Structure 1
Amino acid sequence: MVGTEFDFEAAARGMNTSHDLVLIATDQVPRRRLQRLVAGLARSLDLAASRRPVSLVLLGGIAASDRIELERYARILPIASSTPDIAEIEEAVAVLVPLKLPNADLIHGRDPINEVMAVLGPLKATSDHIALINAAADGPHAVRETLRRYANTGAGWTDEVEDNDE
């Protein structure tokens, strides 16, 4: 930070859409010293007007009171073991890893109009079906109006209003 050095075991910064500053500390660092380091880093980031979030990966156990103090300055990602395996590390830092989103077609599904046409089949789709499907593209009001006209036609009714003022 602007020429200041901090004595952490390791540090990494996020790339692309992640702006996190990730610090690594072991249980070999005295907790008071670690608290001062993290607090000093947080103050330096504030003075530099940085909006970079800080995450601290802690290897080894941590007392609840120490964790509460550190959480004032950073997101704490504890790993119970001093010598973790890959699975423990991946689990602890999972919140820092971007989500892998499924394919957009799976999220939004297929086009409903095409799905209806596929179920009806080209030979079974009547002009009335097509009219309803086309109305669906214009929303529920258009579908209601198309159904009303369909029912009126089937009942022999017209939309014309009779004039009984004779």
Structure 2
Amino acid sequence: MASVQEVLSVLEQAGFERLPRPLTVVGTEFDFEAAASGTHTSHDLVLVATDQVPRQRLRRLVAGLARSLDLAASRRPVSLVLIGGVAASDRMELERYARVLPIASTTPDIAEIEKAVAVLLPLNLPDTELVNGSDPVDEVMEALGPLNTTREHIALIRAAADGPDAVREALRRYANEGASWTDEVEDDDE
């Protein structure tokens, strides 16, 4: 039962609200090991079950809950966190009524739980300062260092601001200069 509490803790940290046991929908009681409801960005109804619940009973509970939610005209998606794994045939039957989020271990750690319920958790976006960073041209110049920054490097870096075609043209000019070629077309008539 400790792993059920850990799943609930992870969900609560993500803004879910623990629901009383047994779960009651349209006057019918459903005795899942635990349930939680999304409160802010998620509207999921999350059920938690372990491998201690006989699979036939679990299938009946989930199917009955789905029918009750239909009667109540609920639009709330249902997710079922299964601790201890699930056989493929049982999973297929359960997926008719709920999104199944299996956790193979019977004693999962927090990382395993977070991985299994990741679709229910809010995304952690990186800090905007890290995303925006500094000017890429400045970063390239810094990486090259003052001793390695040549006229050609500066021309290529400036061309990068105008896109890949400008870089290709700057590289073509650089290669032509190195080979002593010119862009002028020779006239064969002479």
Could you tell me the TM-score, scaled by structure 2's length?
A: 0.56
Aligned residues with identical type, % of pairs: 61
Alignment correspondent of 2:145? 121
Question: Are 1:161 and 2:185 an aligned pair?
Answer: yes
Unaligned runs of 5+ residues in structure 2 are 1-23
**Structure having the higher Rg:** 1
Distance 1:108 1:55, change over 3 A: farther
Q: How far off its partner does 1:106 sit?
A: 7.4
Work out the number of aligned pairs and report it. Answer: 161
Distance 1:37 1:115, change over 3 A: same
Which residue identity lines up with residue 119 of structure 1 in the other structure? Answer: A
Q: C-alpha distance in 1, partners of 2:156/2:85?
A: 65
Alignment correspondent of 1:142? 166
Q: 1:6 aligns with which of 29, 41, 45?
A: 29
Question: Are 1:52 and 2:77 an aligned pair?
Answer: yes
Q: 1:42 aligns with which of 63, 66, 70?
A: 66
Q: How far off its partner does 1:131 sit?
A: 0.7
Distance 1:89 1:42, change over 3 A: farther
Q: C-alpha distance in 2, partners of 1:88/1:126?
A: 54
Q: Classify the secondary structure of the residue corresponding to 1:152.
A: helix
Q: How far off its partner does 1:38 sit?
A: 1.3
Q: C-alpha distance in 2, partners of 1:126/1:158?
A: 21
Equivalent residue runs for 1:96-111 within 5 Å: 96-97=117-118, 98=121, 100=124
Q: C-alpha distance in 1, partners of 2:152/2:86?
A: 70
Distance 1:4 1:89, change over 3 A: farther
Question: Are 1:19 and 2:40 an aligned pair?
Answer: no
1:82-115 residue CA offsets vs partner (Å, 9 max, x unmatched): xx6xx45763464214365666787899765334
Q: How far off its partner does 1:125 sit?
A: 2.0
Unaligned runs of 5+ residues in structure 1 are none
Q: C-alpha distance in 2, partners of 1:30/1:18?
A: 29
Contact 2:103 2:112 in 1 (8 A): no
1:20-49 residue CA offsets vs partner (Å, 9 max, x unmatched): 311234677665554333112112334526
